[in-house]
Amino acid sequence: MQSMQGGRPTLLGVRTPRVEDDRLLAGRGRYIADVVLPGMVEAAFVRSDVPHARIREVDTSAALESPGVHAVFTGADLDLDAVPDRMPWVRPVRHFPLARDRVRYVGCPLAVVVADDRYLAEDATELVAADLEPVSTVDTAEQALSPDAALLYPEWGDNLLLSVDADSAEVDAAFERFRAVSGTFTTHRHSAVPLEGRGVVAEYRDDRLTVWTSTQAAYVVRAMLSAVLGLPERDIRVVTPDVGGGFGQKNEIYPEEYVVPWLAMRLRRPVRWIEDRHEHLIAATHARDTTIDLSAAVREDGTIAALRGRVRTDLGSGEIFPAGYGPSLVAVGSLCGPYRIPHQAIAVQGVVTNKTPTGGYRGFGGPEGTFAIERLVDKIGRELSIDPLELRRRMILAPDDLPYETASGARLESGTHREAFERAVELGERMLAEEQGSAAPGTYLGLGFATYVEGIASTTFSITGTWSSQDSADVRFDADGGVTVAVGISAMGQGAHTMVATLVAEALTLPIEQVRVVMGDTDTAPFGLGSWASRSALVAGGAIDRAAEVLRRKGTAIAAHLLEASPDDLELADGSFQVRGSPGSAISWTQVAQSALNRTFELPPGVEPGLEARAVYESTGLDHVPRPDGKMNACASYTNATHTAVVRVDPETGVVEVVRYAVVHDCGRVINPLTVAGQIHGGVAQGIGGTLYEQLPYDDGQPLATTFMEYLLPSAREIPVMEVEELGGPAPETPFGVKGAGEAGIIGAPAAIAGAVEHALAPLGVTEIDTVPLTPPVVRGLIEEARA
């Protein structure tokens, strides 16, 4: 099926069924747990149940005598290098895959047992005796920064992994001139919970290591394995099979990903480790846990002249790569949203505590920053008696403002900021009126909004100290006219295969069925940085576009020679090179491929055999390090959206129900409306979960949510039917005019839902909600406090 674009057929914007779905729905997917190799043994990890301790001894003798056990290793047994600290702007953590001298969180791996199967390995882990000397625990970022706090890394002298001050004469002048409105906005600790947990399989054969791992970035894993194991990258193959959800959590490199390959090399047999859900909740990275102190210098009309504040994030122990401070930097860049706020000075603190390390999770700082600024804008409206929607209208970017550089340095080339906002307001007010019309007397309904911009396809240098932002594509014709495309991005359920196949088919005017997609294997896919930051469509699309241009030029030369026509007289349409004005004079890609690959004597002079191209794409205009003024345009492009939520609140129980939800979104040209809608729906669902249900509390360093009995996830019952509308058209600054949609759904949900709950409870005297999650006890507390 095709639509028309500029008078010609196009696959872009067509609701194409996903090419990967039949295989997955029929149970033919191959996940890590499906990788079974001859002679394979299973690993299980011994994890610390103490949050902070010095390691005196780890006795493995009893475990070694357990039935079916092949080996037991501790941190002292592993001849591995420390995970490199490649970021000179943060303090070195120098952590090892298995703890050697100290443990800093419950779940930290102390030892690994290898046995014939997972059951025997798990039994043997209980026989490993760890003699740990407890050290005082720090539970919160505030406690960690107190003068008498225990130090996780005594050589630092404090518990700050990262500390960035910020000052600005323009900001100071604004606060001297205008009134200040301030608030403290807290986003709690929760986490991605992908359907598939983590897992690793490794085999060392013929002096070459092959690692299957559930990751979003195979080439990054390969590079880190090389650094820690001491093997050349060319001797390591990393394969990413089907991934049952990543959400940024699988963009980290975990201890198990180093240890399992080491075991395979040491034991000379395949080794597999599959995470269980308890391990996932205590050992896979957590997220958010951020407090933003934010003040606005406010003019008489309520508009913001400057922002000042601090983003403080609890990073847990900090023992992860990439380090978990990245979302804090993104939060800083998100604070101005789509508003004309000319100046900001925002400090950043990344604090280590005795919790599981924090890392990436969908939105990656965007939800935190958006929650803070949107809640602050509502507070300004209350204090100045200005309708908060009217206040937003006074600040939001209009088309004539573009291109626009935000106070943090982000360069917005395109977008529909005002249009999306106004349409979302229209939808929200209609939805609220409909709910009020059918609600029982005494029902507490509320309406909330959140508007934002999302940076996509960012540089990764600021969190890795190594990689920037490039990606690659190989496009190769076969003699029968079929095409194989290999790309450096990764699939994790987001429809990447369909997206890539669609762009290749569009660029070469072929049916999508003639395109085969390869990704997730460092031996067969070209170098790429994987899938994160809503980057896949843009960077893969850019590389595909460049490779396709090479093929189109070569195909045109061959077809012109075969048709005895001038190349300038040919056009490519419907899979054929046609002479303009002569529909009967055409050469198909299949005929061109036959000449290029088989009948090479038909090639024109100077044209070499073969019909393939490799291209690398890196966006221009990115800042990989801050500019002298401290600003940074860290992303290739920026999407925008406005969310609106209608909630129902039961004041007696404190239960909040999201009854209606709408998103008005602009991601440039839409490749596949089905995929974009799915991304938005899934992101909103996770945003609802993180705002109302999910949390990872601690008490004296002990995690209190270690199973799904304590970690509450929303079900389909808690997710409303959503209205999603796409605005805008092709973005002029990107290949194919596309941006990204992977994270947009989750960014607006906390602010929109919190605003709606605040609106619903206003008749009861609740005037300010500045913290999530809004669990029933929290909501009841807000109501009781207001009544008191």
Residue 27 lies in a domain: no
Residues 347 and 308: their CA atoms lie apart, in Å, by 8
Q: Give the chain's mean pLDDT.
A: 96
pLDDT at 89: 85
Asked if 242 and 292 sit in the same domain, the reply is no
Cα(519)–Cα(218) distance, rounded to whole angstroms? 9
Asked whether the predicted pLDDT for residue 5 surpasses 70, the reply is: no
Given 617, 638, 663, which residue is the final one in a domain? 617
Give the Cα separation of 254 and 259 in Å (integer). 9
Query: Is 706 part of a structural domain of the chain?
Result: yes
Q: Residue 105: which pLDDT band, with cuts at 50, 70 and 90?
A: very high
Distance (Å, whole) CA 294 – CA 733: 32
Rounded-to-integer distance, Cα 487 and Cα 489, Å: 6
Residue 1 has pLDDT above 60, yes or no: no
Number of domains in the chain: 3
On whether residue 680 sits in a domain, the answer given is yes
Sign of CA dihedral 575, 577, 581, 584: negative
Assigned domain for 200 exists: yes
Task: Give me the percent of the chain exceeding a pLDDT of 70.
Answer: 99
Residues 76 and 38 in one domain: yes
pLDDT of 582 reads 86
Q: Is the pLDDT of residue 728 over 90?
A: no
pLDDT of residue 2: 60
Q: Is the pLDDT of residue 4 over 60?
A: no
Give me the pLDDT at residue 583, please: 76
What local confidence, expressed as pLDDT, does residue 117 receive? 97
pTM over 0.85: yes
Tokens representing 520 are 């997730």
- End-to-end distance of the chain based on CA atoms, in angstroms? 63
Give the pLDDT confidence score for residue 545 in this predicted structure. Answer: 98
| pLDDT given for residue 654 in this prediction | 97
Q: Phi and psi at residue 491, in whole multiples of 5°?
A: -100, 135
Residue 450 belongs to domain with CATH number: 3.30.365.10
**What span, in angstroms and rounded, lies between the C-alpha atoms of 451 and 340?**
13
Same domain, 452 and 474: no
Residue 237: give the domain boundaries.
32-135+192-283
Q: Output the DSSP codes for 184-244.
A: EEEEEEE----SS--EEEEEEETTEEEEEE--S-HHHHHHHHHHHH---GGGEEEE----S
Domain boundary among 583, 617, 651: 617
Q: Tell me how far apart the alpha carbons of residues 711 and 584 are, in angstroms, rounded to a whole number.
A: 66
Helices and strands: H and E segment counts in the chain? 20, 33
In a domain, 77, yes or no: yes
**In this structure, are 451 and 510 located in the same domain?**
no
Are 226 and 78 in a shared domain?
Answer: yes
Final residue of a structural domain among 580, 596, 617: 617
Average pLDDT for 217-242: 98
Each residue's pLDDT tens digit, 151-199: 999 999 999 999 999 999 999 999 999 999 999 999 999 999 999 999 9
Same domain, 558 and 481: yes
| 688 and 570 both lie in a single domain | no
Count CB neighbours of 461 within 10 A: 18
- Return all residues near 87 (Cβ < 8 A) that are at least 6 apart: 323, 462, 463, 464, 465
443 and 362 in a common domain: yes
Do 317 and 353 touch, CB atoms closer than 8 A? yes
Whether 279 and 297 share a structural domain = no
Residue 158 resides in a domain: no
Query: Which tens digits make up the pLDDT trace of 20-67?
Result: 999 999 999 999 999 999 999 999 999 999 999 999 999 999 999 999
In one letter, which amino acid is 613? A
Model confidence at 584, pLDDT cuts 50, 70, 90, reads confident
Structural domain contains residue 446 = yes
Does residue 482 lie within any of the structural domains? Answer: yes
Residue-level pLDDT at 682: 97
The C-alpha R_g of the chain, in whole angstroms, comes to: 27
> Would the CA dihedral through 499, 502, 504, 507 be positive or negative?
negative
- What is the CB neighbour count within 10 angstroms for residue 710? 13
| CATH number of the CATH domain containing 119 | 3.90.1170.50
